[in-house]
Structure 1
Amino acid sequence: MKRVSTAFLKAAVIVIGIPVLAACIFVVPAFGNFAAYFFPEFSAMKIVVMLYMYVTVLPFYFALYKAYQLLNYIDQGRAFSELSVQALQVIKRCAVIISALYVLFLPMVYLLAEYDDAPGLILIGLFIVFAALVIAVFAAVLQKLLQEAIDIKSENDLTV
Protein backbone atom coordinates (compact mmCIF):
# COMPACT_ATOMS: atom_id res chain seq x y z
CA MET A 1 0.00 0.00 0.00
CA LYS A 2 2.82 2.38 0.88
CA ARG A 3 4.51 1.96 -2.52
CA VAL A 4 1.22 2.57 -4.31
CA SER A 5 0.53 5.81 -2.45
CA THR A 6 4.06 7.12 -2.97
CA ALA A 7 3.93 6.11 -6.64
CA PHE A 8 0.69 8.07 -6.95
CA LEU A 9 2.31 11.08 -5.26
CA LYS A 10 5.39 10.82 -7.50
CA ALA A 11 3.11 10.82 -10.53
CA ALA A 12 1.28 13.82 -9.08
CA VAL A 13 4.59 15.69 -8.67
CA ILE A 14 5.42 15.01 -12.31
CA VAL A 15 1.91 15.99 -13.46
CA ILE A 16 2.15 19.24 -11.49
CA GLY A 17 5.37 20.12 -13.30
CA ILE A 18 3.98 19.57 -16.81
CA PRO A 19 1.45 22.47 -16.88
CA VAL A 20 4.05 24.83 -15.44
CA LEU A 21 6.45 23.81 -18.19
CA ALA A 22 3.70 24.37 -20.77
CA ALA A 23 3.00 27.79 -19.25
CA CYS A 24 6.71 28.64 -19.50
CA ILE A 25 6.70 27.71 -23.17
CA PHE A 26 3.40 29.30 -24.24
CA VAL A 27 2.04 31.73 -21.63
CA VAL A 28 5.18 33.54 -20.44
CA PRO A 29 6.17 34.79 -23.93
CA ALA A 30 2.59 35.93 -24.52
CA PHE A 31 2.60 37.74 -21.19
CA GLY A 32 5.91 39.37 -22.13
CA ASN A 33 4.42 40.54 -25.43
CA PHE A 34 1.39 41.83 -23.53
CA ALA A 35 3.61 43.85 -21.19
CA ALA A 36 5.69 45.19 -24.09
CA TYR A 37 2.53 46.29 -25.90
CA PHE A 38 1.31 48.34 -22.94
CA PHE A 39 4.73 49.81 -22.10
CA PRO A 40 6.24 50.70 -25.50
CA GLU A 41 8.38 53.44 -23.92
CA PHE A 42 10.30 50.81 -21.96
CA SER A 43 11.84 48.69 -24.73
CA ALA A 44 13.17 45.94 -22.47
CA MET A 45 9.81 45.31 -20.76
CA LYS A 46 9.25 42.02 -22.58
CA ILE A 47 12.65 40.70 -21.55
CA VAL A 48 12.27 41.89 -17.96
CA VAL A 49 8.85 40.28 -17.55
CA MET A 50 9.87 37.01 -19.15
CA LEU A 51 13.13 36.80 -17.20
CA TYR A 52 11.36 37.56 -13.93
CA MET A 53 8.74 34.88 -14.52
CA TYR A 54 11.36 32.32 -15.56
CA VAL A 55 13.37 33.08 -12.41
CA THR A 56 10.33 32.30 -10.27
CA VAL A 57 10.03 28.88 -11.94
CA LEU A 58 13.49 27.79 -10.78
CA PRO A 59 12.61 27.47 -7.07
CA PHE A 60 9.33 25.80 -8.07
CA TYR A 61 11.08 23.01 -9.94
CA PHE A 62 13.73 22.69 -7.23
CA ALA A 63 10.95 22.23 -4.66
CA LEU A 64 9.31 19.61 -6.89
CA TYR A 65 12.64 17.80 -7.12
CA LYS A 66 13.00 17.85 -3.34
CA ALA A 67 9.42 16.57 -2.95
CA TYR A 68 10.27 13.71 -5.31
CA GLN A 69 13.40 12.98 -3.26
CA LEU A 70 11.32 13.01 -0.07
CA LEU A 71 8.99 10.43 -1.58
CA ASN A 72 12.03 8.31 -2.46
CA TYR A 73 13.20 8.54 1.14
CA ILE A 74 9.80 7.30 2.27
CA ASP A 75 10.03 4.36 -0.17
CA GLN A 76 13.49 3.48 1.15
CA GLY A 77 12.33 3.54 4.77
CA ARG A 78 14.30 6.68 5.58
CA ALA A 79 11.29 8.92 6.21
CA PHE A 80 12.43 9.67 9.75
CA SER A 81 15.88 10.95 8.91
CA GLU A 82 17.68 14.25 8.74
CA LEU A 83 17.55 14.02 4.94
CA SER A 84 13.75 14.30 5.10
CA VAL A 85 13.96 17.27 7.43
CA GLN A 86 16.42 18.97 5.10
CA ALA A 87 14.18 18.29 2.08
CA LEU A 88 11.22 19.87 3.88
CA GLN A 89 13.36 22.86 4.83
CA VAL A 90 14.34 23.37 1.17
CA ILE A 91 10.70 23.08 0.09
CA LYS A 92 9.76 25.67 2.70
CA ARG A 93 12.47 28.07 1.57
CA CYS A 94 11.57 27.65 -2.10
CA ALA A 95 7.92 28.41 -1.34
CA VAL A 96 8.89 31.54 0.58
CA ILE A 97 11.14 32.65 -2.29
CA ILE A 98 8.34 32.13 -4.81
CA SER A 99 5.92 34.07 -2.65
CA ALA A 100 8.36 36.94 -2.14
CA LEU A 101 9.19 37.16 -5.84
CA TYR A 102 5.52 37.33 -6.79
CA VAL A 103 4.82 39.93 -4.11
CA LEU A 104 7.56 42.04 -5.68
CA PHE A 105 6.05 41.39 -9.13
CA LEU A 106 2.48 42.35 -8.15
CA PRO A 107 2.89 46.12 -8.70
CA MET A 108 3.78 45.47 -12.34
CA VAL A 109 0.81 43.12 -12.65
CA TYR A 110 -1.36 45.86 -11.17
CA LEU A 111 -0.17 48.33 -13.80
CA LEU A 112 -0.84 45.83 -16.58
CA ALA A 113 -4.28 45.10 -15.17
CA GLU A 114 -5.06 48.83 -15.02
CA TYR A 115 -4.10 49.34 -18.64
CA ASP A 116 -6.11 46.39 -19.88
CA ASP A 117 -8.91 46.66 -17.28
CA ALA A 118 -8.34 43.04 -16.23
CA PRO A 119 -8.54 42.67 -12.45
CA GLY A 120 -8.26 38.90 -12.85
CA LEU A 121 -4.52 39.27 -13.33
CA ILE A 122 -4.19 40.62 -9.81
CA LEU A 123 -6.25 37.75 -8.43
CA ILE A 124 -4.03 35.23 -10.19
CA GLY A 125 -0.94 36.86 -8.70
CA LEU A 126 -2.48 36.90 -5.24
CA PHE A 127 -3.48 33.26 -5.61
CA ILE A 128 0.10 32.29 -6.42
CA VAL A 129 1.38 34.23 -3.39
CA PHE A 130 -1.22 32.66 -1.10
CA ALA A 131 -0.64 29.12 -2.41
CA ALA A 132 3.12 29.44 -1.95
CA LEU A 133 2.67 30.73 1.60
CA VAL A 134 0.33 27.85 2.46
CA ILE A 135 2.90 25.37 1.14
CA ALA A 136 5.65 27.10 3.14
CA VAL A 137 3.63 26.93 6.37
CA PHE A 138 2.65 23.30 5.73
CA ALA A 139 6.27 22.34 5.06
CA ALA A 140 7.38 24.17 8.22
CA VAL A 141 4.81 22.30 10.32
CA LEU A 142 5.80 18.95 8.81
CA GLN A 143 9.46 19.77 9.32
CA LYS A 144 8.90 20.55 12.98
CA LEU A 145 6.82 17.41 13.54
CA LEU A 146 9.36 15.24 11.77
CA GLN A 147 12.22 16.74 13.78
CA GLU A 148 10.33 16.08 17.02
CA ALA A 149 9.66 12.49 15.93
CA ILE A 150 13.34 12.00 15.12
CA ASP A 151 14.31 13.43 18.52
CA ILE A 152 11.86 11.11 20.31
CA LYS A 153 13.12 8.15 18.32
CA SER A 154 16.75 8.88 19.17
CA GLU A 155 15.80 9.40 22.81
CA ASN A 156 14.06 6.03 22.87
CA ASP A 157 17.04 4.36 21.20
CA LEU A 158 19.29 5.69 23.96
CA THR A 159 17.06 4.45 26.79
CA VAL A 160 16.78 0.89 25.50
Structure 2
Amino acid sequence: MKGAKINFLKVAIVIIGVTILLLCVFGLPWLAEYSTEINPEYGYLKYPILIWIYITTIPFFVALFEGFKLLKYIESENAFSELGVESLNHIKQCGIGIIILYGIGLVILGFQNVLHPTMLIIAATIIFAALSISLFAAVLQELLKTALEIKSENDLTV
Protein backbone atom coordinates (compact mmCIF):
# COMPACT_ATOMS: atom_id res chain seq x y z
CA MET A 1 0.00 0.00 0.00
CA LYS A 2 2.86 2.37 0.86
CA GLY A 3 4.48 1.73 -2.51
CA ALA A 4 1.25 2.58 -4.31
CA LYS A 5 1.01 5.94 -2.54
CA ILE A 6 4.60 6.81 -3.35
CA ASN A 7 4.17 5.73 -6.97
CA PHE A 8 1.02 7.83 -7.20
CA LEU A 9 2.94 10.87 -5.93
CA LYS A 10 5.78 10.19 -8.35
CA VAL A 11 3.33 10.00 -11.25
CA ALA A 12 1.68 13.22 -10.03
CA ILE A 13 5.06 15.00 -10.01
CA VAL A 14 5.84 13.77 -13.51
CA ILE A 15 2.40 14.84 -14.79
CA ILE A 16 2.79 18.29 -13.23
CA GLY A 17 6.26 18.65 -14.73
CA VAL A 18 5.20 17.53 -18.21
CA THR A 19 2.11 19.77 -18.12
CA ILE A 20 4.12 22.86 -17.18
CA LEU A 21 6.77 21.99 -19.76
CA LEU A 22 4.14 21.66 -22.49
CA LEU A 23 2.56 24.95 -21.42
CA CYS A 24 5.96 26.62 -21.61
CA VAL A 25 6.76 25.18 -25.02
CA PHE A 26 3.38 25.56 -26.69
CA GLY A 27 1.01 27.63 -24.55
CA LEU A 28 3.14 30.60 -23.55
CA PRO A 29 4.42 31.49 -27.03
CA TRP A 30 0.87 31.30 -28.39
CA LEU A 31 -0.41 33.43 -25.50
CA ALA A 32 2.38 35.97 -26.03
CA GLU A 33 1.57 36.19 -29.74
CA TYR A 34 -2.14 36.54 -29.04
CA SER A 35 -1.52 39.26 -26.46
CA THR A 36 0.68 41.12 -28.91
CA GLU A 37 -2.06 40.99 -31.55
CA ILE A 38 -4.65 42.35 -29.11
CA ASN A 39 -2.35 45.03 -27.63
CA PRO A 40 0.29 45.90 -30.23
CA GLU A 41 1.47 48.87 -28.15
CA TYR A 42 2.92 46.36 -25.66
CA GLY A 43 4.57 44.22 -28.31
CA TYR A 44 8.03 45.24 -27.14
CA LEU A 45 7.37 43.34 -23.88
CA LYS A 46 6.60 40.04 -25.59
CA TYR A 47 10.05 38.48 -25.43
CA PRO A 48 11.28 39.99 -22.13
CA ILE A 49 8.20 38.70 -20.29
CA LEU A 50 8.39 35.33 -22.04
CA ILE A 51 12.07 34.96 -21.12
CA TRP A 52 11.35 36.07 -17.54
CA ILE A 53 8.64 33.42 -17.18
CA TYR A 54 11.01 30.79 -18.57
CA ILE A 55 13.62 31.84 -16.00
CA THR A 56 11.08 31.44 -13.20
CA THR A 57 10.38 27.87 -14.28
CA ILE A 58 13.96 26.85 -13.47
CA PRO A 59 13.47 26.85 -9.67
CA PHE A 60 10.06 25.22 -10.21
CA PHE A 61 11.57 22.26 -12.03
CA VAL A 62 14.43 22.04 -9.51
CA ALA A 63 11.83 21.85 -6.70
CA LEU A 64 9.93 19.12 -8.59
CA PHE A 65 13.17 17.18 -8.99
CA GLU A 66 13.94 17.55 -5.29
CA GLY A 67 10.43 16.38 -4.44
CA PHE A 68 10.96 13.34 -6.64
CA LYS A 69 14.27 12.63 -4.89
CA LEU A 70 12.54 12.97 -1.52
CA LEU A 71 9.98 10.37 -2.59
CA LYS A 72 12.84 8.05 -3.58
CA TYR A 73 14.35 8.53 -0.12
CA ILE A 74 11.01 7.67 1.46
CA GLU A 75 10.70 4.62 -0.78
CA SER A 76 14.14 3.37 0.20
CA GLU A 77 13.35 4.11 3.87
CA ASN A 78 16.12 6.70 3.95
CA ALA A 79 13.91 9.75 4.48
CA PHE A 80 15.07 10.35 8.05
CA SER A 81 18.55 11.40 7.03
CA GLU A 82 20.49 14.48 6.09
CA LEU A 83 19.55 13.82 2.47
CA GLY A 84 15.89 14.47 3.29
CA VAL A 85 16.81 17.67 5.15
CA GLU A 86 18.84 18.83 2.14
CA SER A 87 16.00 18.11 -0.28
CA LEU A 88 13.54 20.05 1.85
CA ASN A 89 16.03 22.91 2.08
CA HIS A 90 16.34 22.99 -1.72
CA ILE A 91 12.55 23.01 -2.08
CA LYS A 92 12.33 25.88 0.41
CA GLN A 93 15.02 27.84 -1.43
CA CYS A 94 13.32 27.26 -4.78
CA GLY A 95 10.05 28.60 -3.36
CA ILE A 96 11.85 31.69 -2.09
CA GLY A 97 13.53 32.08 -5.48
CA ILE A 98 10.18 31.97 -7.27
CA ILE A 99 8.77 34.58 -4.87
CA ILE A 100 11.74 36.87 -5.45
CA LEU A 101 11.67 36.48 -9.24
CA TYR A 102 7.94 37.17 -9.50
CA GLY A 103 8.27 40.06 -7.05
CA ILE A 104 11.00 41.63 -9.17
CA GLY A 105 8.91 41.10 -12.30
CA LEU A 106 5.90 42.81 -10.71
CA VAL A 107 7.99 45.76 -9.61
CA ILE A 108 9.53 46.17 -13.08
CA LEU A 109 6.14 45.96 -14.80
CA GLY A 110 4.71 48.38 -12.23
CA PHE A 111 7.43 50.93 -12.95
CA GLN A 112 6.79 50.55 -16.68
CA ASN A 113 3.05 51.19 -16.08
CA VAL A 114 2.13 47.99 -17.90
CA LEU A 115 1.01 45.87 -14.96
CA HIS A 116 -2.40 44.58 -15.97
CA PRO A 117 -4.70 43.50 -13.11
CA THR A 118 -4.96 40.00 -14.56
CA MET A 119 -1.18 39.65 -14.54
CA LEU A 120 -1.14 40.91 -10.97
CA ILE A 121 -3.70 38.32 -9.88
CA ILE A 122 -1.86 35.48 -11.60
CA ALA A 123 1.50 36.56 -10.17
CA ALA A 124 0.01 36.98 -6.69
CA THR A 125 -1.45 33.48 -6.90
CA ILE A 126 1.91 32.04 -7.92
CA ILE A 127 3.65 33.97 -5.15
CA PHE A 128 1.11 32.73 -2.58
CA ALA A 129 1.50 29.11 -3.75
CA ALA A 130 5.31 29.36 -3.65
CA LEU A 131 5.14 30.94 -0.20
CA SER A 132 2.88 28.16 1.08
CA ILE A 133 5.13 25.44 -0.30
CA SER A 134 8.24 27.16 1.01
CA LEU A 135 6.79 27.53 4.51
CA PHE A 136 5.57 23.93 4.51
CA ALA A 137 9.01 22.71 3.44
CA ALA A 138 10.64 24.83 6.17
CA VAL A 139 8.33 23.34 8.83
CA LEU A 140 9.00 19.80 7.59
CA GLN A 141 12.72 20.52 7.51
CA GLU A 142 12.70 21.66 11.14
CA LEU A 143 10.65 18.63 12.18
CA LEU A 144 13.03 16.32 10.36
CA LYS A 145 16.07 17.99 11.97
CA THR A 146 14.49 17.57 15.40
CA ALA A 147 13.69 13.92 14.67
CA LEU A 148 17.27 13.32 13.54
CA GLU A 149 18.63 14.93 16.70
CA ILE A 150 16.35 12.79 18.89
CA LYS A 151 17.33 9.70 16.91
CA SER A 152 21.05 10.41 17.30
CA GLU A 153 20.62 11.05 21.04
CA ASN A 154 18.77 7.76 21.41
CA ASP A 155 21.48 5.95 19.46
CA LEU A 156 24.13 7.38 21.79
CA THR A 157 22.28 6.44 24.98
CA VAL A 158 21.69 2.84 23.97
Segments ≥4 residues shifted beyond 6 Å: none
Percent of residue pairs bearing the same amino acid type? 42
Letter in 2 for 1:24: C
Cα distance in 1, alignment partners of residues 122 and 19 from structure 2: 15
Cα distance in 1, alignment partners of residues 115 and 134 from structure 2: 28
Tell me the TM-score normalised to structure 2 length: 0.88
Q: 1:28: how far off?
A: 2.1
Structure 2, unmatched stretches of 5+, are none
Mapping of 1:24-63 within 5 angstroms?
Answer: 24-33=24-33, 34=35, 37-40=40-43, 42=44, 45-63=45-63
1:128 maps to 2:126: yes
Structure 1, unmatched stretches of 5+, are 114-118
Contact 2:106 2:115 in 1 (8 A): no
Cα deviations across residues 93-115 of structure 1 (Å, max 9, x unaligned)? 001101111111124277152xx
Aligned residues: 152
Letter in 1 for 2:120: I
Cα distance in 2, alignment partners of residues 22 and 130 from structure 1: 23
Contact 2:67 2:87 in 1 (8 A): yes
Tell me the TM-score normalised to structure 1 length: 0.87
Corresponding residue for 1:148?
Answer: 146
Cα distance in 1, alignment partners of residues 27 and 114 from structure 2: 18
Contact 2:95 2:131 in 1 (8 A): yes
- The worse-fitting range, judged by mean Cα deviation, of 69-78 and 18-27 is 18-27
